[in-house]
Amino acid sequence: MTETIAGNVFQQDAVDELAAQLTGSVFTPDDPGYAAEVTGFNLLSQHRPLLVVAVADPADVQATVRFAATHGLPVGVLATGHQPFPLAEGFVLITTGRMRSVVIDAAGATARVEAGGVWGDVVDAAQTAGLTPLNGSSAGVGVVGYVLGGGLSPVLGRKYGWAADHVAAIEVVTADGRFRRLTADTEPELFWGMRGGRSNFGVVTAIEIELFPVSDFYGGGLFYPAEQAETVLHAYRDVVHSAPDELTCSVALLNFPPLPQIPEMLRGKSVAHVRVAFLGSAEDAETLIAPLRDIGPALIDAIGPQPYSAFAAVHQDPTDPAPYEEASTLLAELPAAAVDTILAKVGPQSGGAVTVVEVRHLGGALSEKLPGSSAIAARDARFTVWGATVGPPEAISAGAELLNSLIEALNPWTTGRTYQNFTSREDTADSIFTPDDLERLKDIKTLYDPANLFRVNNHNIVPWTARREV
């Protein structure tokens, strides 16, 4: 059999030769298992790669990258597939889900996580040593993509900063097929660029991250009926105005579908969900969130002392794959006028076209830029506004239109950037990085991937030497 993709021709025996080198597996579009292998958490992202290589070790990654380079095919990487990217076909997709080893170094307070590891794996392993990573809100999100996109912890971020700033080492295969172990001392420019540039420079096979001595927190969620959304959002502004770094708080406007797995009191309803995480005593936490308590009895009050292993209960993110679109923006401030804009666009009177819109407090250690900090351009933001619509195509289309309208209406208060891990399908590198950082990233890209091999499911950083290709 001969395959022709974008002018590139290779024989089936070339695929067979690749497969013979691998410990993992190769799938073509006609193979059983292909569809399952290319499907990530976001079911709207239905990529059509020419080949899928389910890698089992770094040697598999090296062989696959060399194969793709030889045949002039771009390379994409999929771990859990939570984030939407422009759909693509005619490329080689590397899936890393079979590489999930987690090794905790309790004495060194670090974790080495293979490319397919998810946060639930790491938190469970680290907690046995009384340690925790700067993980996200969901146990099922992949570690590598999250960290290299910045890593905004909804429990520890304001206290300890961006996860990308707390990476000890990165093991990666670059476009030349070479395996490299990066640290701040070995290859400092590439190490800097990957912490923010995600999969633009290579395929990560493992990452070493710092851990922190946290085993519990005080927090959870408050659910208020939609008619109290205005009161909730303005009370939220009061809470976060002078909050200490130990407190992270966000509020989400949620429109629940009428599904049986949703608690009856929330099923088919619109609510305001306040998410709270505090690293300190119950007494101090309750003093800080008093303006939220003063609103009155909540539909659900799940705030209290929590073992860190219960972190996912704060945001209660969905655990089942679904089709969705998302969009976000970063705000330099959250004045009352911005809150009123959010309510006017997606509040209780909007008709529920958007499934969720969250306002999350940043600042604290997330604003710091220390020597060796990573390529994260969200440090000047004080809030992020993120939204998503889940459902059939017509619902997603209506929700996306409303979300885009909200983001445009928030322009007077934005920083002009978008946080990498909360980007939409349409976002580009120009909307994520500062101009100076993007020039530096292009220099790194030109050195390590001059042919732009890694350009598929990322916000592509185009090398100075390459044509723009889709």
Confidence of residue 457 (pLDDT cuts 50, 70, 90): confident
Task: Tell whether the model's pLDDT for residue 469 goes beyond 90.
Answer: no
The pLDDT assigned to 7 comes to 44
The mean-pLDDT minimum among 79-93, 286-300, 394-408, 420-434 falls in: 79-93
Task: Tell whether the model's pLDDT for residue 332 goes beyond 90.
Answer: yes
The pLDDT assigned to 133 comes to 98
Q: What is the CATH number of domain 2-95?
A: 3.30.43.10
CB environment 78-97: b (16+ within 10 A), e (fewer) = bbbbbbbbbebebbbbbbbb
What is the rounded average pLDDT of the residues 76-91?
83
pLDDT mean across residues, the chain: 92
Task: Tell whether the model's pLDDT for residue 6 goes beyond 50.
Answer: no
Confidence of residue 438 (pLDDT cuts 50, 70, 90): very high
The radius of gyration computed from the CA coordinates of the chain, to the nearest angstrom, equals: 22
- Please say whether the beta carbons of 131 and 231 come within 8 A: no
Q: Encode pLDDT of 290-308 as tens digits.
A: 999 999 999 999 999 999 9
Rounded Cα gap, residues 253 and 223, in angstroms: 10
Q: What are phi and psi of 111, to 5 degrees?
A: -130, 135
pLDDT above 70 covers what percent of the chain? 96
CA angle 253–254–255, rounded 5-degree value: 130
Rounded to two decimals, the pTM is 0.93
- Please say whether the beta carbons of 222 and 271 come within 8 A: no
Task: Tell whether the model's pLDDT for residue 470 goes beyond 50.
Answer: no
Q: Give the pair of three-digit tokens for residue 10.
A: 């290779």
The pLDDT assigned to 261 comes to 67
Greatest mean pLDDT range, 88-92, 107-111, 265-269: 107-111
Residue 164, helix vs strand vs coil: helix
The pLDDT assigned to 466 comes to 58
Q: Looking at the chain, which residues constitute the CATH 3.30.43.10 domain(s)?
A: 2-95
**Longest Cα–Cα distance in the chain:** 70
Task: Tell whether the model's pLDDT for residue 352 goes beyond 90.
Answer: no
Task: Tell whether the model's pLDDT for residue 77 goes beyond 60.
Answer: yes
Neighbours of 138 (CB within 10 A): 21
Rounded Cα gap, residues 224 and 289, in angstroms: 15
For 216-422, give the CATH class: alpha beta
Q: Looking at the chain, which residues constitute the CATH 3.40.462.20 domain(s)?
A: 216-422
Q: Give the pair of three-digit tokens for residue 273.
A: 């969900």
Task: Tell whether the model's pLDDT for residue 42 goes beyond 50.
Answer: yes
What is the rounded average pLDDT of the residues 120-141?
97
CA neighbor of 358 nearest in space, from 253, 261, 267, 452: 253
What is the rounded average pLDDT of the residues 171-188?
97
CA neighbor of 285 nearest in space, from 235, 238, 243: 243
Task: Tell whether the model's pLDDT for residue 252 goes beyond 80.
Answer: yes
Neighbours of 65 (CB within 10 A): 25
Rounded Cα gap, residues 308 and 10, in angstroms: 51
